[in-house]
A = this chain, B = another copy of it.
Amino acid sequence: MAISSLLFYQPPSPPSGDVITQRQSRSCRGHIVKPYCCLRTEVTTRPKSLSKDYKLSWTEELSRAYGHHQLPSINWDKFEDIDDDIFQDLVDKRCVDNIRMLIVDSVQNAKAGHPGMALGMAEVGYVLYRHAMKYNQRNPDWINRDRFVLSAGHGCLLQYVCLHLAGFDSVQIQDLQRLCKLGSRTPGHPENIVTRGIEVTTGPLGQGVANAVGIALAEAHLAARYNKPDAVIFDHRTYCIMGDGCAMEGIAHEAASLAAHWKLHKLTLIYDDNHNTIDGPTSLAFSEDVSARFRALGWNTITVENIHSDLKSFKDALHLAFNETERPTFIKVKTLIGKLSGKEGTSKAHHGTFNEEDVKKMRERINWGCREPFHVIPMLHREMQEQIDNGERLEKEWYSKLYAYQSKYPQHVAELRLLLSNGLLPGWENLLPKWNMSDPVDATRGYSDKCLNHLAKVLPGLIGGSADLATSNKAYLHDHGDFQSNSPWGRNIRFGVREHAMGGISNGIALHGSGLIPFAATFLIFSDYMKNPIRLSALSHAGVIYIMTHDSIGLGEDGPTHQPVEQLAGLRAIPRLLVFRPADGNETAGAYKVAVKNRDRPSLIALSRQKVQANLEGTVSEEVQRGGYVISDNSGGQLPEIILIGTGSELCLCEMSARKLREGGRRVRVVSLVCWRLFDWQPREYKERVLPSNVIKRVSVEAGSPVGWREYVGREGVVIGVDEFGASGPYSEVFKKFGFTVENVTKVAETLLCK
C-alpha cells in the first residue's frame, strides 16, 4: 500500500493507550518544539515480568547452551525461579549466538563477504532490531519508523540477518544463501534500491554517517513544521553504525560537526571500536581520542566497555541517548572484530571465509551441535515477533493520531498529504518564471535564483543550501528562513564549507522518503569534493538537485584552482545523473522543471557566473527535456552546411557566430545540447532531425574539457574546448585566451566550411 493512500487510513480499532509511554516533557528538539513531540516508546531494557510459559519455551535451548559447566549458579530444573533480568540476558545472548551462526553460514556458503564487523557487532544489531527500533516489517515505508543506516556498509550481512529475523519479506533464508550472487537481494554492500528495509546505499566509508545526519535533519525539520501539541506526526530516531574507517573519513567528521551544530538529538551514532581495519590494527594510522573529538564537536558521548559480556550496558547507553534532549549521541562500543571465530580481534577477520576447523570450533564454543547451516532457533523468531508486534501497534497508533490530526488541522494536512505523496503540487511547473528578449541580462545563476524562489512557493518540500557560497550560488529561499537548532522549520541549510557532507546529507534527506526535495549548491569546481555522494544519489535514486555555479573558466579572476575544466565530462559520465548546462533564463527554468520532476534521479545544473541573455533568441524552456534541440537555422528546406553546437554561456557565441556566417551566405544551424543524457535517450529519428548524419561539418563550443564531444561533432567536426587548466584574469580576457570569442568560433567554422 502506498504511503499516500495509507495516510488517511483509519485504524480498525482505537489505540490502546497503555502501550505507549507518554513523555510529556522529554525527547524534544530544542526549546521551541518541546511540547509537540512527546510520543515515543522506551527502549525496552526492563523486560516485563517473564511468564512461566515463556521461560519454559527457552529453557531447553538455554540449558543446552549455558548448562552447568558454564553457569553453575543456575539451576535449570527450577527455570521459573531464575531472575527475570538474568533470564532475559541469557535469551538475548542466545539470540546473538544464533545471529553469529547465520553470519558464518552465509559467508561460508557465499565463499565471500565481510564477516568481521558483522560478528563483532552482532549484539548491537540484535538490540537495535529486537529492543530499540520501531518499525513495521509489513510496511517498511511507514514514514515515522526509526531509521537505521549502516555506514560501515561492508558489514551488511549483519543487517541482512537482522532484517530476516525481523520478518522483512525482502530477506528470506534463501536470500542469505544467495549473498553476493548476481541478481540477489543480498548484494555485497547494502542497496536501498535492491532490498526493502535498507534505507540508503552505503559502502564508501563515511557516507552513511552523512546520510544519517540528513535523515535526522529531515525528521527534525518535518517535526517542527507539522507536529502539534496534541498530534505528533514526525518523531522517530535515527541510528547509524560506523566503523573505524568512517571515523577516519573526512565526510563523517564534517557531518558530525553539523549534527552537533543542529542539535540533532534523536540521532545516535554507534561506533564499532574494534581496533582493526583492513591493513591491520588501527594503531597503524589512528591515535586520536575519537570520543573526545566528538565531545569537542558538541556530542553526548558514551562508552560501552564490553558489550560481548555485558549486553545490558549497551541497552543502558541507548537509554541515555534516548533521554538526551540537546545533543546527538555518540556511543563508542568496544568490540572484537570477528567475535567467536579463530580470527577474533585481528584484521584477518575483516573479510573472507573461515576454514572448516574454525567453523567447527565456533559451533562447539556456543554448543551449537550439528544443526544444519542457516538454522534459526524457533524461539528467536518468537522473540523478534514481540518487537514486530510492537511496531505494528505503534504504526496503528500513529495512524490514529494522524486521523485526529486531519480533522483538527486540515490546512496542514493538505500540505502534508502532498509531501507524503511526492511533494509535487499539480501544475507546479507553471510557477516557473519565463523570460523574454527584452528582460535585463543576468548570469544563469541569477535566473536559477528566481526559479528556486518561485518553486519554493509551490513545492513545500524544497529545502537545501550551499556550502558557504549561498550568495555566490544564489541558492537561498528568501522567504523561508534558516534551518537551525532554534528554527528547525527553516528551509535554508547552512552547510558551512563542507561539500562532501552536503552531498551525503542531501542524499539522506531525499531518501527519508517524506517528499522533501533537497538541493545542494557550490561552485562546479567543488563537485570534486563531493563526487562520491553525487554518484550515490544516482545509484540510490535520490532526487537531489545539485546547483553548481561558476561553471567554467568564465569565472575569471579566481584562477585555475577555481575554474572547472574536466568536471562536466566526469559528471556526465555518471550513470543516471542528468547534467544540465542551460544557456539563458528559459533553459534554466526548463532544467529545473526536469530536475524537480525526476524524484528518483539526481540532476546537476551547471550555471554561469557571467551574464548571458535572459532569453537567447530561439531557446525554448520546454525543449530542455529533450536534451538537445535546434535554436536557429536559416537552411529553409535544405540541410544546413554546418551545425554549431553549444551549451550554457557559449550557446550565444554559437548563435552570434552563426549570424556572421549567414551574412556570408552560409546555411547554418545552431543546436543547444543542454543535457547530453536526455538527448541520447531521444528516439533515433529525433536525434537525426536535430543532428542529421549527412551534415558532417559541426563545431561544438563549450568552455570545458573536449572529452565526450566527439560523439556529437563526429570525426570531421571540431571541438572548441579547454584541454588545459584555465588562467586568472578578467573573464572576457580568459575567454579570449582560450578561443571563446565570436571571431574564433566563426574562423573555425569558416575553415571547416572551406575544407
Residues of chain B lying within 8 A (CB to CB) of residue A558: 154, 188-189, 203
A482 contacts across to B, CB distance below 8 A = 284
| Interface pair A249/B498, CB less than 8 Å apart | yes
- Binary flags per residue of A175-192, CB closer than 8 Å to B gives 1, else 0: 000001111100111010
A245 and B497 alpha carbons, distance in the complex (Å)? 5
Per-residue contact bits, chain A 492-529, to B (CB 8 Å; 1 contact, 0 not): 00111110110000000000000000000000011011
A:286-318 near B, CB below 8 Å: 286-290, 292-293, 295-298
* A559 / chain B contacts, CB cutoff of 8 Å: 180, 187-189, 191, 203
**What separation, in Å, do the CA atoms of A274 and B187 have in the docked complex?**
48
Binary interface encoding of chain A residues 467-508 relative to chain B, with 1 for a CB under 8 A from any of its CBs, else 0: 011111000000000101000000000111110110000000
* Given known contacts A184-B728, A257-B288, A285-B496, A279 and B466 CB-to-CB distance under 8 angstroms: yes
Tell me whether B468 and A737 are in contact (CB under 8 A): no
Which residues in B have their C-beta under 8 angstroms from that of A562?
Answer: 188-189, 203-204
Specify the chain B residue showing the minimal Cβ separation from A113.
B557
Assess the A287–B292 pair: CB atoms within 8 A.
Answer: no
In contact, B557 and A250 (Cβ under 8 angstroms): no
Q: Are B561 and A203 in contact (CB under 8 A)?
A: yes
A433 at the B interface (CB under 8 A): no
CB-CB < 8 A to A369: which residues of B?
A: none
Minimum CB–CB distance for A526 against chain B, Å: 7
Q: Which residue of B lies closest to A716 (CB)?
A: B715
Chain B nearest CB, measured from A602 CB (Å)? 13
Task: Tell me, yes or no, whether A202 is within 8 Å of chain B by CB.
Answer: yes
Chain A interface residue count, CB cutoff 8 Å, equals 111
A296: chain B residues within 8 A (beta carbon):
288-290, 292-293, 295-296
| A242-290 CB contacts (< 8 Å) to partner B | 244-246, 248-254, 257-258, 260-261, 277-279, 282, 284-290
User: Could you tell me if B569 and A182 are in contact, using CB atoms closer than 8 angstroms?
Assistant: no
Q: Which residues of B contact A35 (CB under 8 A)?
A: none
Residue among A180, A278, A536, A557 having the largest count of chain B Cβ atoms under 10 Å: A557
Most chain-B CB neighbours within 10 Å: which of A110, A261, A561?
A: A561
Q: How far is the CA of A257 from the CA of B287 in the complex (A)?
A: 8
Q: Which residue of B lies closest to A254 (CB)?
A: B250
A498 in contact with B250 given A557-B188, A737-B182 (CB within 8 Å): yes
> A182 with B257: in contact, given A292-B295, A297-B293, A558-B189 (CB under 8 Å)?
no
Flag whether A19 is at the interface (Cβ < 8 A). Answer: no
Stretch at the interface among A1-9, A49-57, A647-655, A719-727: A719-727
Cα distance, A246 to B254, chains bound together (Å): 11
Residue pair B180, A557 in contact (C-beta under 8 Å): yes
Q: Does A574 contact B (CB under 8 A)?
A: yes
Given A277-B468, A468-B277, A729-B180 contact (CB < 8 Å): yes
- Contact string against B for A residues 219-248, beta-carbon threshold 8 Å, 1 for contact and 0 otherwise: 000000000000000000000000011101
| A535 interface contact, C-beta 8 A | yes
Contact yes or no, A298 B287, CB < 8 A: yes
A285 contacts B297, CB within 8 Å? no
A456 is an interface residue with CB less than 8 A from chain B: no
Tell me, yes or no, whether A539 is within 8 Å of chain B by CB. yes
A37 at the B interface (CB under 8 A): no
Which residues from 726 to 752 on chain A have a C-beta closer than 8 Å to any C-beta of chain B? 727-730, 733-734, 737
Question: Which of B469, B528, B538, B561 meets A531, CB within 8 Å?
Answer: B528
A707 interface residue per 8 A CB criterion: yes
Chain A, range 529-556, C-beta contacts under 8 Å to B: 529, 531-532, 535-536, 538-539
Given A261-B288, A498-B249, A531-B528, A707 and B569 contact (CB-CB distance below 8 Å): yes
Q: Which residues of B contact A730 (CB under 8 A)?
A: 180-182
Residue pair B496, A284 in contact (C-beta under 8 Å): yes
Say yes or no: is A708 at the interface (Cβ < 8 Å to chain B): yes
Find out whether the CB atom of A188 lies under 8 angstroms from the CB atom of B529.
Answer: no
Contact, CB under 8 Å: B535 / A532: no
A248:B254 contact, CB within 8 angstroms: yes
- Residues in B neighbouring A246, C-beta threshold 8 A: 497
Tell me the minimal C-beta distance from A740 to chain B in angstroms.
Answer: 14
> Does any Cβ of B come within 8 Å of A140's Cβ?
no
Q: Does A449 contact B (CB under 8 A)?
A: no
**A714 near B: Cβ within 8 Å?**
yes
Kindly list chain B residues whose C-beta atoms are within 8 Å of the C-beta of A494. Answer: 279, 284-285
A729: nearest chain-B partner, CB-CB: B182
Instruction: Check if A566 is an interface residue, CB within 8 A of chain B.
Output: yes
Type the 1/0 row for A107-118, where 1 means its CB is closer than 8 Å to any CB of B: 000101100000
Query: Does A39 sit at the interface, judged by CB under 8 A?
Result: no
How distant is A508 from chain B, measured CB to nearest CB, in Å? 16
Query: Is A575 in contact with chain B by the CB < 8 A criterion?
Result: yes
The answer, yes or no, to whether A687 is at the interface (CB within 8 Å) is no
Instruction: State the 6 A-B residue pairs at the shortest beta-carbon distance, nearest first.
Output: A250-B250, A570-B570, A182-B729, A203-B561, A285-B496, A187-B728
> 16 interchain pairs (CB within 8 A)?
A187-B560, A188-B562, A189-B560, A191-B559, A201-B561, A203-B561, A248-B254, A257-B287, A277-B468, A278-B472, A284-B484, A287-B298, A565-B573, A569-B570, A569-B708, A710-B710
Besides A188-B558, A253-B253, 6 other A-B contacts (C-beta < 8 A): A183-B729, A204-B526, A250-B253, A570-B573, A573-B705, A575-B723
